[in-house]
Amino acid sequence: MKVPWNDYGGKLSPLKLTVFIALFLPASWTAIAFVTGNLGPRPLNEAIHQQGLWTIRLILIALAITPLKAILLWQRLILVRRMVGVAAFAYIMLHFTLYCADQGFNPLTVASEIVKRIYLTIGFTALVGLTALAATSTDAMVRRMGRKWQTLHRLIYLICLLGLIHYSMQSKLEQWEPVIADGIFVWLMGYRLLAAKFAVRGRLPLVWVAALGVAATVLTALGEAVYFVIAFAGRVTFTGALALNFSLRTGVRPAVIVFAFSLIVLAAGLLRARLAPPPQGRSRGPARYA
């Protein structure tokens, strides 16, 4: 029988089993907190928020698998990509179902809210996209669609972008975590652009990974500074906002987190390359960057 924790050869994969169990944890945590009355004064709203957060996190994790597989020379990581993607779909359906519950399962209210509120229209478009990807994620569909499958599944970049816009719009003034997610998205997309041009045997040289980390950090800092100038018109200057990245006066800024993320990935890549140097050679070729 085909079970999610077996590899292609039908043998139990500890990696797949661990990830499979881990993917249930956030929703289980919310369910337990809900039942035991530990979700605060507006439990349904809090549950909607938590499932939304996990949807965007899982999409980003799914997008991180291809770069990490190459940087860490860990081919088997690809075994869990589909599982993480399908889990993102499960979480978005949960997010949406809880939202419908909050609206008393009244289809007219749900539909009119989605049409009226732009952040819901954007979220719903992303949900439709994720549904299309989940529906075509079986082995049979991959075989049947051939090259069209890859083209369709590149929609995940757009879906992630829409999810991030929805996230930022509903977060109003509190943009700390959305900006971190944006910075990591920039890194993930930057990796794909660079890998398509400069990968050697499907692996982006680590010097490019280092440059990418710096670029993603700078863009995150600039993006946040522009946001501060617009949102706090007259009270924050552009250079003042940038300077916050070098002090702890307003906590650790998103750009610092993005920098730490980039640094950890680079350090892991360097360590991995030291332990098992990749095969040498100049055969340049486009990386598999789906």
Please report, as ranges, the residues that interact with ligand HEM according to CB under 6 A.
45, 48-49, 52-53, 55-56, 92, 95-96, 99, 114, 120, 123-124, 126-127, 130, 163, 166-167, 170-171
Q: What CA–CA distances, in Å, run from 192 to 169, 186, 188, 198?
A: 26, 10, 7, 10
Least distance from ligand HEM to the Cβ atom of residue 183, Å: 15
The CB density around residue 102, as the number of other CB atoms within 10 Å, is: 15
Q: Which is nearer to ligand HEM, 99 or 187 (CB)?
A: 99
CA distance 5 to 14: 8
Q: Which is nearer to ligand HEM, 182 or 204 (CB)?
A: 182
Residue nearest to ligand HEM (CB): 52
CA distance 137 to 264: 31
Q: Which is nearer to ligand HEM, 173 or 248 (CB)?
A: 173
Least distance from ligand HEM to the Cβ atom of residue 168, Å: 9
Q: Which is nearer to ligand HEM, 92 or 265 (CB)?
A: 92
Which DSSP category does 75 fall into? G
Report the run of H or E that residue 184 belongs to, with start and end: helix 176-198
Q: Hunting for tokens 């280092």 — which residue is that?
A: 210
Q: Which residues of 167-197 are buried (b: 16+ CB within 10 A; e: fewer)?
A: bbebeeeebebbbbbbbbbbbbebbbebbee
Q: Which is nearer to ligand HEM, 136 or 170 (CB)?
A: 170
Least distance from ligand HEM to the Cβ atom of residue 186, Å: 17
Q: Which is nearer to ligand HEM, 183 or 213 (CB)?
A: 183
Least distance from ligand HEM to the Cβ atom of residue 255, Å: 20
Least distance from ligand HEM to the Cβ atom of residue 248, Å: 23
Least distance from ligand HEM to the Cβ atom of residue 189, Å: 16
- Contacts (Cβ under 8 Å, ≥6 apart) of 45: 102
Least distance from ligand HEM to the Cβ atom of residue 170, Å: 4
Q: Which is nearer to ligand HEM, 159 or 204 (CB)?
A: 159
Identity at 158, one-letter amino acid code: L
State the DSSP string of 170-183.
HHTT--HHHHHHHH
Q: Which long-range contacts (CB under 8 A, 24 or more apart) does 244-253 make?
A: 245/221, 251/176, 253/221, 253/224
Between CA 158 and CA 162, with CA 160 as vertex, the angle to 5 degrees is 70
Beta bridge partners of 6: 12
Beta bridge partners of 12: 6
Q: Which is nearer to ligand HEM, 119 or 198 (CB)?
A: 119
Least distance from ligand HEM to the Cβ atom of residue 74, Å: 27
